[in-house]
Amino acid sequence: MSSSEGLGVESASRAWPSLDALREEALACTRCPLAETRTQVVFGVGDPNADLMFVGEGPGAEEDKQGIPFVGRAGQLLTRLIEGIGLTRDQVYIANVVKCRPPGNRDPQPDEKQACEPYLFRQIELIQPKVIATLGNHATKQLSGKETGITRVHGQPQRLNVGALAVLLYPLYHPAAALYTPAMFKVLEEDFARLPELLGAPVPEPTPVVPLLAPPPAPEPTVQLGLF
Ligand code: URA
C-alpha cells in the first residue's frame, strides 16, 4: 500500500510533485484487486499542459493490451470527434476514472474507483486543464460528486473545484454508447461542437444552491451502455 494513500492536497503535491512521479507510482499500484488481473496500468496520454482533458470510465481489452486509453472502437470514435473540432489526441489529455481494466469489461466497483481517485485528482491538478469533458456516467458522477446521470447533465457545463483549481466540467455521452445508438451519436457530436467555445470561456461562478422546496426531479430514462 502506498504511503501517499489518503493524503490531502498539500501532501499529495509533495509526494507526487510531477506527472512523471505520479505515473511511476500508478504503474506499480496494488491499491485494489484490479492490480491482480490487469496486463498493464493505463495511466493516461496526451499533452501534460492540455487545456482540454477527457476522462472515461476504465480501460477495455485493447487498452489493457496497449497501455493507452481509448484505442478500441470507442477510442477510434473519440479520436474522430477530437479531430472534428480541429484538435489531435496529442493536443488534449486522455485518462480514465480507473487506470486498470475491470475484468470482462464490467463496471468499475466503488472501492476500485475510490482507490484510483487520488491519481485522477492529482492528474487534474498537475495538468490544470480549462475544461474536463467526462465521458459517460462513471466519470461524470465521480468528478461532479453528484448522482445525477448523464442523460440529464450531458452538454451542460458546470464549475468544478479540484483543490485550488477551478475548471469547467462538461459531461458528454460515452462514445461507446454512441457507437450503438445513432440518436446518441448525434447528441454527442452536437455537444462536442461546443467544446471550442467552452475552451475560450471563463469558468463561471458556482451555481446557486437549489431551493429546499424544489420539486423532486422526474425519474431519469435508463441508458444501457454496451461499452466495448
Ligand atoms: N477505453 C477507455 O480507455 N476508457 C473507456 O471508458 C472506454 C474505452
- If phi > 0 it is left, if psi is from -120 to 50 it is alpha, else beta; for residue 150 that is alpha
Domain boundaries, the chain: 23-197
Pocket test for ligand 1, best of 57, 89, 180, 228 (most atoms within 8 A of CB): 57
Strand partners, 161: 166
Q: How far is the CA of 214 from the centre of ligand 1 (A)?
A: 36
**DSSP conformational letter for 70:** S
CA distance 138 to 90: 24
For 171-227, the pLDDT digits (tens) are 999 999 999 999 999 999 999 999 999 999 776 666 555 544 444 455 555 544 444
What is the pTM (predicted TM-score) of this model?
0.87
For 18-55, the pLDDT digits (tens) are 999 999 999 999 999 999 999 999 999 999 999 999 99
Atom number of ligand 1 nearest to Cα 174: 6
Our CA dihedral for 31, 2, 128, 20, rounded to 10 degrees, sits at -110
CATH 3.40.470.10 applies to domain 23-197: yes
- Chain position carrying cell 475544461: 131
